[in-house]
Chains A and B, each alone.
Chain A
Amino acid sequence: MPELEIRKTYKLYVGGEFIRTESGRYDPIPDARGQLLANVSRGSRKDLREAVRKARAAQPGWAAKSAYLKGQILYRMAEMLEGRAESFEQLLRESHGVTAPAARAEVRATIDRIVHYAGWSDKYVALLGTVNPVASSYFDFSVPEPMGVVGIVAPETPDLLGLVSHLAPVIVAGNTAVVLLSEKYPLVSLELAEILATSDLPAGVANLLSGRKEELVPHLARHMDVNALSDAGGDRALSKSMAEDGAVNVKRVKRYGIADYSSDTAQGLDFIEAFTETKTTWHPIGV
């Protein structure tokens, strides 16, 4: 007699905890053949507000951690993913119906992307900052600082590599994030939450919500305590309304349309810079 498998219900990842949606709503997620693979929480407006609250609370502490430590934590994420690479590949194959080499390629690229940003943690400030030669007796310098809480709308595919490509640069810059995951393929991303939860990333730095984008995006875009939006959702109409709604508190809105996430052009300093503010400080020189 075959062993009876235990089916997993994927929960939301908010404030470092795996929580059920307060709304009590669940969506079935089919595998590539149309068979039920798992149920996921359909995140609600209240779940989103809770995620923003947790992200805001976590932000100053995360930003205050040393650049070295942030790099260590990101590198640890890569280590954890490496250790579980096979189960991620398996889940990618089941949910997308892709070949083993394709699944393996996406996981490898995801690990590489995390390592790439781990290395940026103690370098981007030196490259984005300036000392400004003002024409008066002042020492004047500009440094990049985190924007605060960033709302990320992850691309539908590649769900794993796409998520990491947008999350890693946001958090390495000292921001905290509320991510609306791929609506069609949320499982691998929610599996990644288990990596985040066990890699020393402080609770609340990355919050992952599954659910319907059309329902959640307007609440994210209008939320008064979200500072910026990283829009990689790829839905033109939703992008426009999101950019309009973002004006409510002058959100910084960065829209991405990336054709090939596995390319080196889908990573780098520009992705970090997009979620930094520039602070300029003046002080007199004298005795």
Chain B
Amino acid sequence: MATVKEEQEAREHAVRRIEREKPALEFGSAWDYAPAPESRDHLRLEERYGLFIGGKFVAPKSKKYFETVNPATEETLAQVAEAGPADVDAAVTAAEEAYRKRWSRLKPADRGKYVYRIARLLQEKSRELAVLESMDGGKPIKESRDVDVPLAIAHFFYHAGWADKLEYAFPRHTVSPIGVCGQIIPWNFPLLMAAWKIAPAISCGNTVVLKPAETTPLTAMLLAEVCQEADLPPGVVNILPGAGETGAALVNHARVKKIAFTGSTDVGKIIQRATAGTGKRLTLELGGKAANIVFEDAPIDQAVEGIINGIYFNQGHVCCAGSRLLVQESIADTVLQKLSDRIATLRMGDPLDKNTDVGAINSKMQLDKIRELVACGVEEGAELHQSSCAIPPKGFWFPPSFFTNVAQSHRIAREEIFGPVLTVMTFRTPDEAIEKANNIPYGLSAGVWTDKGSKIFQITQKMRAGVVWANTFNKFDPTSPFGGYKESGFGREGGVHGLRAYVELG
């Protein structure tokens, strides 16, 4: 019987290292950059954060605190209160009171003005929010600075303007708010997800209790400070860090009228069961395993950039990541060579460095999950190709990787890895591509690459997915509805369609 070490060696042997020296693109030392870390001087962090209830930071009745660490360095950033059931109850009570006495009685235009204020204040803090997002979650500063934070701000700006125009969105209906909304968000886009949830909810006249993820609570704490600075009436926004138990207490709270959840399909199903028959409204934004289909008539260099962006953006911690590459057989060799060459140029390392392309894996737990699925892929007979980039000594890291020789039935082709790992499969005909793309319980997003216009419409129409990117990938905007088909959840966030989740129509 093979020892653990022998098994590891065998596995290592199966890996094809993508070497910087080998590829067709040779830049010599031109790709070596001096470190360019973003400064963290202007960031003021408290040692300890309480729960944000009724406009104040308060000590948790649970008396529990947890540490949040920087996944790139494993340093502890702060202690954060963990909300227990009594804290959830206090927050719901505060939200209900704010809803009844202040927020639902406010002139809609004034509600909008508060939301505009939040947007402006976030803009003024955009630098420190970006730095903190990268420190708490491990994502590259260029992403938090150019994607997460500006998009979060845009969501507040966009929805602020809806506050006094809701009757235009729902003709022939009277429009009223729902009440207290319980919102649970994941760790992959902490501030952005908070904005996706809070902005439409409060613009439509509801009040919220939001639970950020346990590994990334800090930017939500800054958002709470912004709510204070904006003089938002106390209790309109309440923020309760915590883990699964906190979320369960929120979902099961009798006076919560609506639940919005973004996270795994497994937990989403539990929530759907728990809210069934209670009259609670529910929207779910769950997992995905998007097909990214590249046809032989695609603009190949653009497609390769799209593949890279599709799977390595945010270390692949993206529910709509293009994690299944379907490439037409005739161009598979070319595309894979270009993909390897491009991966060799990706820089993994300090998330705060402005030149970093791939940051740290969000947590030890997530890293273990990625490793487990990747090991399973190797065991099932797929061939692993992995960047040979240096792995920093501390923190949680996984090099950009892809699998070839993948069968549709492999776990790595069916389960969400939620890491920088792509599975590559080939197809011969458009019908085969459509069949393979849709043959999965998920249906969040898909990508299609071809220069032929009629083919774009044909294939995008056939995708059973809520968001389809044609000749692009991973694009988001507050005006653009986002959400899944099938087991990727229901309801939309963003755009006119997203408002529906936060209004009661008469």
Interface residues of A (CB under 8 A from B): 130, 132-136, 138, 140, 142, 147-148, 227, 236, 239-241, 243-244, 246-250, 252-253, 270, 277-284
Q: Is the CB of A142 within 8 A of B495?
A: yes
User: Is the pair B489, A243 in contact by a Cβ cutoff of 8 Å?
Assistant: no
Contacts of A247 in B (CB 8 A): 269-270, 272-273, 276
Complex contacts, B90 vs chain A, CB 8 Å: none
Q: Are A250 and B277 in contact (CB under 8 A)?
A: no
Q: Are B468 and A243 in contact (CB under 8 A)?
A: no
B441 interface residue (CB < 8 Å to A): yes
The residue among A133, A249, A279 with the most chain B CB atoms within 10 A of its own CB is A279
In the bound complex, do residue A281 and residue B276 qualify as a contact, i.e. CB atoms below 8 Å apart?
no
- CB–CB A280/B468 < 8 A: yes
B472 touches A282 (CB 8 A): yes
Extra inter-chain contacts (12) besides given A244-B273, A278-B483, A281-B469, CB under 8 Å: A130-B495, A134-B480, A247-B270, A247-B273, A250-B268, A250-B488, A252-B490, A278-B466, A278-B481, A278-B497, A282-B470, A282-B475
Judging by beta carbons under 8 Å apart, are B497 and A142 in contact? yes
B480:A140 contact, CB within 8 angstroms = yes
Cα–Cα distance between A246 and B489 once the two chains are bound (Å): 12
Which residues does chain A contribute within 8 Å of B465, judged by CB atoms? Answer: 279
Taking a contact as CB atoms under 8 Å apart, the answer to whether A132 and B485 are in contact is no
Q: Are B277 and A244 in contact (CB under 8 A)?
A: yes
Which single residue of chain A is at the shortest CB-CB distance from B466?
A279
Q: How large is the interface on B (under 10, 10 to 19, 20 to 34, 35 or more residues)?
A: 35 or more
Asked if A246 meets B272 with Cβ closer than 8 Å, knowing A279-B466, A282-B469, A284-B472, the reply is: yes
Within 8 A of A (CB), among B454-474: 456, 460, 463-472
Assuming the contacts A142-B497, A244-B276, A246-B272, asked whether A132 and B477 have C-beta atoms less than 8 A apart, the reply is yes
A281-B460, A281-B468 known; A136 vs B477 contact (CB < 8 Å): yes
How far is A39 from B481 in the complex, measured between Cα atoms in Å? 50
The 10 closest A-B CB pairs, nearest first, are A240-B277, A243-B276, A247-B272, A134-B477, A244-B276, A247-B273, A132-B479, A132-B480, A283-B470, A250-B487
Chain A residues near B270 (CB-CB < 8 A):
247
Expressed in whole angstroms, the Cα–Cα distance for A243 and B482 within the complex equals 24
Question: What residues of A have a CB within 8 angstroms of the CB of B482 in the complex?
Answer: 280
| Pairs across A and B, CB under 8 Å, 24 listed | A134-B475, A135-B154, A138-B472, A138-B475, A140-B477, A240-B277, A243-B276, A246-B276, A247-B270, A247-B272, A247-B273, A248-B269, A249-B441, A250-B284, A250-B486, A278-B466, A278-B492, A279-B460, A279-B466, A280-B467, A280-B482, A282-B480, A283-B456, A284-B472
Instruction: Give the docked Cα–Cα distance between A252 and B483 (Å).
Output: 13
**Contact between chains at A282 and B468 (CB < 8 Å):** yes
Q: Are A277 and B470 in contact (CB under 8 A)?
A: no
Q: Does B496 contact A (CB under 8 A)?
A: yes
What mask results when residues 263 to 297 of chain B are scored 1 for a CB within 8 Å of chain A, else 0? 00100111011001100000010100000000000
A227 in contact with B475 given A130-B496, A282-B468 (CB within 8 Å) = no
Chain A residues within an 8 Å CB radius of B277: 236, 239-241, 243-244
Query: Chain B residues with Cβ under 8 A from A134's Cβ?
Result: 475, 477, 479-480
B286, closest chain A residue (CB) = A250
* Contact A283-B472, Cβ < 8 Å, known A134-B480, A249-B441: yes
A145 CB to nearest chain B CB (Å): 8
In the bound complex, CA of A130 to CA of B169 (Å): 11
Q: Which residues of B contact A281 (CB under 8 A)?
A: 460, 467-470
CB distance from A59 to the nearest CB of B (A): 11
CB–CB B276/A284 < 8 A: no
Tell me the smallest distance from the CB of A266 to a CB of chain B, in Å.
14
